[in-house]
Structure 1
Amino acid sequence: MISLKRSRLVRLAVPARPSCAAGVRRTVAAHLARWDLSSIADDAVLATDELFANAVRHASAGPADTIAVTLECSDRALRVTLADPSPAQPRPRAVDGTAESGRGLAIVAALADDWGTDPPDADDVGKRVWFSLAVREPT
């Protein structure tokens, strides 16, 4: 049985640049490895990458913006939240097999146990997009 014995929390502020995506993936993977969550690491890293790409592409006014990435893990679930400066809500698109983009939210929905959006924290503007994954026994 998995027992993390306490909640774990990591917060990052990442420049809203496509070139930072690899660092976000590496950081998420490293924390999940430290927390012994290899059973959900691939799904978590991919879903985080999709949300980060969406935030950079659709919610950033420029490279001076930052995306806040938060990892929260309890004994039951991992929740990853990305906060961006845009109040525009993400809109899932119909999947077009010939399109080169537009599958990000569909991928997140397929990988995650749950996902959604929340308004910003009291002092912030924009929105928070999150997903959660149940913590499972390593296989």
Structure 2
Amino acid sequence: MTASGAWRPGPPPAPADTRHRPAGPAADEPFRVRSTVPADPSWAAAVRRLVTEQFARLPLSADQRDGAVLAADELFANAVKHARTGPDDTVTVTVEWSPHTLRVTVADSSPVLPRPRPADADAESGRGLAIVAALADDWGMAPPEPGRPGKRVWFTLRRRGGTAP
């Protein structure tokens, strides 16, 4: 589902033969990094570190990197707050890069779809999806991977300038 409410699968995932290279991929080399962590707020810093380390290797502007980290953090926080059903729940964060597009996907076990809502000016929460929508080029929701419960929420950023680190 896209931000406008239409269902579509979103951009295709990176090719199946991509692999994580610990030393960091070349900017023009597709890669995919996936990490599954407990659906617990105490893991937010670890998720931010994961995505920050991956984004630092990419030819994105500093503003794009910062925005992508914030958007990933918001999706993780939403999954923990709204989708957690028990102490053993997990959240899977996937970072994918092709030479021109960054895609971050957060998967959880709840089938309940997130829905953007207008935030009350005095509310202390409720702005996560609006933040993601403002920072991303596109975002949406997809069914879970085959054989898994829940859903996936994703966003993409297209490369705009920036220089290789």
Q: TM-score, normalised by structure 1?
A: 0.93
Query: Considering only aligned residues, what root-mean-square deviation do their CA atoms show, in Å?
Result: 1.4
User: What is aligned with 2:51?
Assistant: 28
> What is the CA deviation profile of residues 80-105 of structure 1, one whole-angstrom value per residue up to 9, with x for unaligned ones?
00000000010101121110100000
User: What is aligned with 2:96?
Assistant: 72
Tell me which amino acid in the other structure corresponds to 1:13: T
Say which is worse superposed, 109-118 or 55-64, in terms of deviation: 55-64
Quick check: 2:61–2:160 contact (8 Å CA) kept in 1? no
1:132 is matched with which residue: 132, 137, 156? 156
More helix by share: 1
Q: Distance in 2 between matches of 1:78 and 1:4?
A: 11
Q: Distance in 2 between matches of 1:22 and 1:38?
A: 22
Cα offset for 1:55? 0.2
Asked whether 1:121 is paired with 2:152, we answer no
Superposition map of 1:80-119 within 5 A: 80-119=104-143
1:19 is matched with which residue: 34, 38, 42? 42
Cα offset for 1:5? 2.6
Say which is worse superposed, 36-45 or 90-99, in terms of deviation: 36-45
Quick check: 2:32–2:97 contact (8 Å CA) kept in 1? yes
Q: Distance in 2 between matches of 1:102 and 1:44?
A: 19
Distance 1:27 1:38, change over 3 A: farther
Quick check: 1:113–1:133 contact (8 Å CA) kept in 2? yes
How many residue pairs are counted as aligned between the two chains? 137
Q: TM-score, normalised by structure 2?
A: 0.79
Q: Secondary structure at the match of 1:132?
A: strand
Task: Please list every run of 5 or more consecutive structure 1 residues that lacks an aligned counterpart in the other structure.
Answer: none
1:7 is matched with which residue: 26, 30, 34? 30
Task: Please list every run of 5 or more consecutive structure 2 residues that lacks an aligned counterpart in the other structure.
Answer: 1-25
Name the % identity: 60
